[in-house]
Amino acid sequence: MSAFPVLAVTSGEPAGIGPDICLDLPAAELPCRCVVLGDIQLLKARAQALGKAVQIIEYRPDYTPAQDELEVLHVPLAAPCEAGQLNTANAAYVLQLLDRAYEGIEAGEFAAMVTAPLHKGIINDAGVPFSGHTEYLAEKSGTGQVAMMLAGGGLRVALVTTHLPLKDVSAAIDRPLVESVARILAQELRRKFGIARPNILVTGLNPHAGEGGHLGMEEIEVITPAIENLRAEGMDIHGPYPADTLFQPFMLKGADAVLAMYHDQGLPVLKYASFGKGVNITLGLPFVRTSVDHGTALTLAGSGKADSGSLIVAVDTALAMAQHSQNAV
């Protein structure tokens, strides 16, 4: 058996670019063994259509693959798939990929999980309530609170709230939530990134971090008390800072991560700095899970124009995190 760590890579929505970018894994020459979970005939057909000279073989745990071989743990499609054309019949297939990867994690077969993008809408259209990878894996593993962090371009940005309408964000942010997410962030930076004492900067919610209460009271009533309590626990955490000025080199110098209050407050800056090379990381799970920083890109599927850069970074990041986690035990 290969001495390299074995990582599960789910190929995601079959009509999207997930299968396309997975085909680039052998050429990346990563120091691990990537096992792609997906329909092997779909991957072979997509490789042929794209003219990619990759040797696709069925995964065998006791086999050591050659450098140009792509190992596929075959999970059959429920219905034929055409690039760019969503089909609710294949929604269950996408979830089966996650289920099989999780089973492999639980059994010690895989050291980490990397996920290509899926399409939340088509899963919900199929009648399966689904809000995302993060929530699905948290429920499956019996994990309580988890947190979302994106990394890239020299930045790490975690979020207090994730996929909420903007009108609901303020009501969702309370002191227990801010403290819980901050603790998860600090713990995971220690355990999975090897940072002994993480330095965390926190944004405010409102413009100018509330302008002393003139532009909102969340900073005074929720965020500042949470930070003070965390500092009293010994955490190296500071803020709240106005989000429009925090993301500057002189402010970020020495910081290990930023904790932002909502999705479109923290992520536009990070994606501007690293789009196509960033990685989405779920913090708080009992295993390592990373993902790409983009969606299914249906219009690019099967075109040969999809960029696999984010997937390669996601695998590389998952490998490093898994190794830090092993050393931390």
Binding residues for a divalent metal cation: 163, 208, 263
Q: For residue 35, report the phi and psi dihedrals to the nearest 5 degrees.
A: -105, 115
Would you list which residues are annotated within the binding site for substrate? 133-134, 271, 280, 289
CA distance 44 to 55: 9
- On whether the CB atoms of residues 314 and 280 are closer than 8 A, the answer is yes
CB-based contact 119:85 (threshold 8 Å): no
Listed in sequence order, the residues at least 6 apart from 279 whose beta carbon sits closer than 8 Å to its beta carbon are 150, 151, 152, 290, 291, 292, 293, 310, 313, 314, 317
Residue 276, CB-side half-sphere exposure with 13 Å CA sphere: 5
Tell me the two tokens of residue 126. 């199929």
What does the alpha-carbon distance between residue 314 and residue 322 come to, in Å, rounded to a whole number?
Answer: 12
In sequence order, the 6+-apart residues with CB closer than 8 A to the CB of 82 are 15
Known binding positions: 133-134, 163, 208, 263, 271, 280, 289
- Measured over the CA atoms of residue 20, residue 21, residue 22 and residue 26, the dihedral's sign is positive
Helical spans, DSSP H, in 154-278: 166-172, 175-193, 218, 224-232, 243-246, 249-252, 263-274
